[in-house]
Amino acid sequence: MSEKSLGFIGVGRMGGRLARRLINAGYQLTIFDTSDAVVQSFVDLGARRESSAAAAASACEIVITCLPTPQVVQKVALGSGGVGEGSRVKILVDMSTTGATYAKRIAEGLSAKGIVAADAPVSGGLAGAEKGTLAVMVSCNDEVLNRIQPILENFGKVFHVGRAPGMGQTMKLLNNLLSATAMAISSEAVVMGVKAGLDAQQIVDVINAGTGRNSATADKIPRCVIPRKFDTGFAIELLNKDVRLCLEEADALGVPMIVGTAVRQLLAITQASQGANADMTETVRLLEKWAGVEVGAKS
């Protein structure tokens, strides 16, 4: 079945890039966002504006959400004026990162209204959203997957990770835990190397040729830290939130997270020191301050 009319709620930094890809692919979007100025930029591209999530969900059978926090997603899905009050919507595809607990709660609440919820968080950053190279982690039944997969393929590679609500969210949290851990431990290693007199670029070059290679040494540190740009576009507050959600889910499952807990502590200290909107790569700034060196500075 071809789905060309879609609702889209939340067109911020990530959602906006996803929405733009859909418009460029020929989809007619009905958009709701709390920022009128942001919505206007999509209206200029041919999208329709609606005044509430419920209104957007009354215009289309499939609605996509991409929102910053689990609480906001729940409010938009189940609250007054939310998707659940839409008269036409049949499927809600949530591309936010909420954690399994919220995904299950939202799915249960929408099910009572005859709406199926699919969690489909993504990984790959703003650059991946721009290029359509994201990993899309979908949890839904096969019938829903058949309807939404052609839509999601506009964003990147689709992985059907499960059928029960929340399984996509769990997969996303595992990914972000590893991403945060790579950034944290790689920052410590590079700061130590610089303090010992090694060149920062050569440190990552050697690591990337050996067994220590990871997403931080291969991309984030050479691209964002050494040139002092700190511009991945992913705020420390959001990464801190994702790791916290992962630890909460792990606790509920009875799985110890010893290393994860240490990473969460570093993220919390970084957020307190650098501010909630600091880039996730700015974990290194805290370590630099403590060590009395600067990564990227030539010796």
Two tokens at 207? Answer: 């690591």
The amino acid present at 48, given as its one-letter code, is R
Do both 199 and 161 map to the same domain? no
User: What distance in Å separates the CA atoms of residue 200 and residue 192, rounded to the nearest whole number?
Assistant: 10
For residue 69, the Cα-to-chain-centroid distance in whole angstroms is 10
pLDDT at res. 2: 47
Write down which residue in 143, 165, 187 finishes a domain.
165
pTM for this model (two decimals): 0.92
Which residue reads 């729940």 in tokens? 74
Distance (Å, rounded) from C-alpha 91 to C-alpha 111?
10
In this structure, is residue 284 part of a structural domain? yes
Report yes or no on 214 lying in a domain.
yes
* Residues 32, 147 share a domain: yes
What residues are labeled active site? 172
What distance in Å separates the CA atoms of residue 187 and residue 11, rounded to the nearest whole number? 32
Choose one of 133, 165, 197: the last residue of a domain: 165
Which pLDDT score, from 0 to 100, does residue 3 have?
73
Domain end call among 165, 197, 229: 165
CATH code (residue 260): 1.10.1040.10
Q: Write the CATH number for 127.
A: 3.40.50.720
Cβ neighbours of residue 107 under 8 Å, at least 6 residues apart?
116, 117, 119, 165, 166
Q: State the total domains in the chain.
A: 2
Asked whether 67 and 9 are in contact (CB, 8 A), the reply is yes
Q: Are residues 132 and 158 in the same domain?
A: yes
Encoded amino acid at 87, one letter:
S
**Mean pLDDT for each 10-residue chunk of the chain (299 residues)?**
83 96 97 94 96 97 96 97 97 96 97 97 94 98 97 98 97 97 98 97 98 97 97 94 96 97 97 96 96 81
- 299 found inside a domain: no
Q: Per the domain annotation, does 298 fall within a domain?
A: no
H/E/C letters for each residue in the chain? Answer: CCCCEEEEECCCHHHHHHHHHHHHCCCEEEEECCCHHHHHHHHCCCCEECCCHHHHHCCCCEEEECCCCHHHHHHHHHCCCCHHHCCCCCEEEECCCCCHHHHHHHHHHHHCCCCEEEECCEECHHHHHHHCCEEEEEECCHHHHHHHHHHHCCCEEEEEEECCCCHHHHHHHHHHHHHHHHHHHHHHHHHHHHHCCCCHHHHHHHHHCCCCCCHHHHHHHHHHHCCCCCCCCCEHHHHHHHHHHHHHHHHHHCCCCHHHHHHHHHHHHHHHHHCCCCEHHHHHHHHHHHHCCCCCCCC
In 3D space, the residue among 100, 120, 113 whose CA is nearest the CA of residue 252 turns out to be 100
What is the C-alpha to C-alpha distance for residues 9 and 83, in angstroms, rounded to an integer?
9
Q: What is the pLDDT of residue 297?
A: 56
Domain that holds residue 155: 5-165
